[in-house]
Structure 1
């Protein structure tokens, strides 16, 4: 399984309807589960992003489906970052020629 960080910012619509966030979070977790994405952690953030999700999924296509399904709700803009474990990092660096 691969790890990802989903950096999220609210749209104007998302801010106007912020009180619906608890139900949207539940709906997002349900979507994630149906698509084979596990939300490992979620954080409220201050600064450039409003909240950050740590995801685990089998591949980029699965994450793309999840991110696009979130986008259709109109409440978020996202940036997806692929993460590599320490072991993966060492393997990558050791493979440099």
Structure 2
């Protein structure tokens, strides 16, 4: 399964309804699981982003979950494909010796 790191910012609507954020996250988690994915970690953060969520699943599940959540208007997301150290080792081992 692929790993996706989603950086989240609350919209004006999302921050007005901040008390509902944990409940909204539980709904998101259920949606990911219904798509066959797994929420590995979630953090509320200080700084440039308000939350970071790490999900494992296929690309379709990740896109469906992010589009669904985004359409509700409480957050804006930026999603990155994450790679484990073992995946990176595999990429490096497949590199040509020289170009």
Same fold (TM over 0.5): yes
Q: Which residue does the alignment assign to 1:77?
A: 76
* Deviation string, structure 1 residues 44-97 (Cα, Å, up to 9, x no partner): 11111001011110x212211111011111101001111111111011111122
The reply on whether 1:40 has 2:35 as its aligned counterpart is no
Q: Which residue does the alignment assign to 1:56?
A: 56
1:39–1:54: 8 Å Cα contact kept in structure 2?
A: yes
Aligned partners of 2:22 and 2:91: how far apart in 1?
39
- Please tell me whether Structure 1 or Structure 2 has the larger radius of gyration of its CA atoms: 2
> When the two structures are superposed, what TM-score results if normalisation uses the length of structure 1?
0.92
Q: What 5-or-longer segments of structure 1 have no aligned partner? A: none
Shift, 1:24, TM fit: 0.8
Aligned partners of 1:30 and 1:85: how far apart in 2?
25
Aligned partners of 1:40 and 1:72: how far apart in 2?
23
1:37–1:66: 8 Å Cα contact kept in structure 2?
A: no
Shift, 1:22, TM fit: 2.2
Q: How many residues align?
A: 96
Deviating beyond 4 angstroms after TM superposition, the runs of 4 or more aligned structure 1 residues are: none
